[in-house]
Amino acid sequence: MFSEQTTAYAKTVLAKAGEAGLMVATAESCTGGLVAASLTEIAGSSSVVDRGFVTYSNHTKMQMLGVPEKVLADHCAVSEQKARAMATGAITNSDASVAVSITGIAGPGGGSAEKPVGLVHFAAARADGVVLHVERRFGDLGRDGVRQAALDQALQLLSDILDA
């Protein structure tokens, strides 16, 4: 179902989280649950994966993750602030100690000069308050290409926060 590279990233995340005794949550927008699916594709993932939030609308981000309305109003749909709020909200609203979030513009429409198709913000958070952020401008790779690139980046960031 997933590429060999994606599966390798997912296995690394599961191994690191398992060794540390940590549960993982995902908070996804433009990837629509692909990160959670890539992790749960692997047998034994239930000992590490707590849950995945697919929060496509802003209302759902507020309702399920507790993203403050002010963050959405002040920083729009695709921003570092929103990604950080989604990741920390996933920890607050789950039994996980580590979470990753993704918010971006997969296309084909929805982009602008300031926020083009392919712009994706990621955040990974730990329960101890450490948060990492990555912004990627993948370009217009097509919807599937942006989502695949975002999936792999999210898994890499999740691996990084498990090392931090």
| pLDDT (0 to 100) of residue 111 | 83
| pLDDT (0 to 100) of residue 144 | 97
| pLDDT (0 to 100) of residue 15 | 98
Sign of torsion over alpha carbons 59, 129, 51, 155: positive
pLDDT in tens, 129-138: 999 999 999 9
Cα–Cα distance list, 60 to 49, 137, 146, 157 (Å): 21, 25, 22, 24
CA-wise closest residue to 99 among 17, 12, 14, 24: 24
pLDDT in tens, 73-106: 888 779 999 999 999 999 999 999 999 999 999 9
Which pLDDT band holds residue 163 (cuts at 50, 70, 90)?
very high
| pLDDT (0 to 100) of residue 156 | 98
